[in-house]
Amino acid sequence: MWAKPAEHAPSRRRNRRLFGVRAIRRLRRCEDGSTAIEFAFVSVPFFALLFAILETALVFWTTQVLETAVTDASRLIYTGQFQDQHAAATPEEMRTAFRDEICARVVALISCSTMLQVDVRRFGDFGSVTVDPLIDGEGAFSSDAFGFQASGEREVVVVRAAIEYPVFVTLLDASRANLANGRRLIVASAAFRNEPFGQ
């Protein structure tokens, strides 16, 4: 049987050691994965910022859509059309009907019929206007503040519509959630004096 010469063993060990040193040097010089590692460090704050910007834009857009819908629907009360159409309805039926009028003008992003709460109050003049707070002392959305009062001509009317909007990105700005359950309350309102529609 052929035996390897013993004198070659140290040179083989030296060659392996040199190969290991060369591989480490090559690894130090190699920058193929540096981009991926740098992106891993930057990606979390980048995507958090991106989604926070998108969510903020959605909240502003939803608020604007709701404000416009409340203003448009309130014209039906302002001109007396809504009162004429629902003269025989109960206050709760009128509140549901008015909510449907608002929801007909709201597009996308919210489940209007289940999320929207509507409050309509009448007053003798603007100086006597008082409304209940929508958030109680524990930071919860107070549904007791909502009702419907049918109004007549020349009466002052305050309309409020509110939704609990979900907050998805809280990493950068937790203060956007203003309710104890982690949601944001979006409120749209309108205040006006009814026309003399009885004349």
Phi and psi torsions of 94, nearest 5°: -65, -40
Q: What is the pLDDT of residue 114?
A: 81
Q: What would you measure as the largest C-alpha separation in the chain, in angstroms? A: 124
pLDDT given for residue 12 in this prediction: 60
Tens digits of pLDDT across the chain (199 residues):
455 555 555 556 555 555 566 666 665 665 666 777 777 888 888 888 888 888 888 888 889 999 999 999 999 999 999 999 998 999 999 999 999 999 998 876 677 878 899 999 999 999 999 888 888 888 888 877 888 999 999 999 999 999 988 877 765 554 466 787 888 888 999 999 999 976 6
Q: Of 152, 154, 147, 178, which is closest to residue 165 (Cα–Cα)?
A: 178
What are the structure tokens assigned to 110, written together? 């919210």
Q: How far is CA 117 from CA 37, 83, 98, 179, in A?
A: 48, 19, 10, 15
Going from N- to C-terminal start, the domains of the chain cover: 39-193
Q: What is the pLDDT of residue 108?
A: 67
Q: Which DSSP string corresponds to 114-134?
A: HH-EEEEEEESSGGG-----S
Please name every residue paired with 192 in a beta bridge, in sequence order, or none if there are none: 157
pLDDT at position 134 is 87
The two three-digit tokens of residue 63, written as one number:
């608020």
- Alpha-carbon distance 48 to 170, whole Å? 9
For residues 95 and 113, give the distance between their C-alpha atoms in angstroms, rounded to a whole number: 12
Is 98 within 8 Å of 119 (Cβ atoms)? no
Instruction: Evaluate whether 180 touches 138 at the Cβ level (below 8 Å).
Output: yes
Nearest to 47 by CA among 143, 172, 187: 172
Torsion of CA 177, 181, 184, 186, to 10 degrees: -150
**What is the reported pLDDT for 32?**
64
